[in-house]
Structure 1
């Protein structure tokens, strides 16, 4: 009787074992994928919420400019040397670019490692 039970379990996993493993793997991939998408969406939304006048931005179309004002879901961006003003939806902003850092040194520079 015990050997019949073991044989039936072995037969079951022989037929369905790979299918069960594949289903579990697909469910795990779905869960991890949805969690990372939610995390990415939160980061994007916090980036959009931090938009303010003076922010350097890049749009989804590749246009670089400076935010002049934000009114609800609309962002006004100035671009180019003539400061042309363009209007975008907040969703059209791909990223906030880091402003270039200018180093200023106050005082005298002294070398300490002289040989």
Structure 2
């Protein structure tokens, strides 16, 4: 009986740590990954986006793993990897076509 209690005393805290680790780290990361995947799948031309580099632009066209955006005061088209998009902006910026200088 003493041997079973000592094994239970060792395994129970370890099991508790695994459960806490799952709920504090793994599960939230999976939810975040799923949200990002859904956001990238829902991209469409005309969406206003922000890249991981801080570039704001409007999607002009999409390909499999790349996105073409129009950005800057001179309205140049850039090709970006789809994974480089951080977020889709809800509202366009005021005076978007005016230079920031």
* TM band (smaller chain): 0.7 to 0.9
Partner of 2:13: 22
Instruction: Give the superposed CA RMSD.
Output: 2.4
Q: CA deviation at 1:24?
A: 2.1
Larger Rg: 1
Pick 1 or 2: higher relative contact order, CA cutoff 8 A, min separation 6.
2
Aligned to 2:39: 47
Structure 1 runs of 4+ with >4 Å offset? none
Count of equivalent residues: 92
Match of 1:31 among 22, 34, 47: 22
Distance 2:16 2:61 in 1: 47
Q: CA deviation at 1:27?
A: 0.7
Gaps of 5+ in 1: 101-115
- Who is 2:68 aligned against? 76
Q: TM-score, normalised by structure 2?
A: 0.76
Structure 2 residue ranges without an equivalent (≥5): 93-101
Of 56, 61, 64, the residue aligned with 2:56 is 64
1:89 paired residue number: 81
Q: Tell me how far 1:47 sits from its aligned partner.
A: 0.2
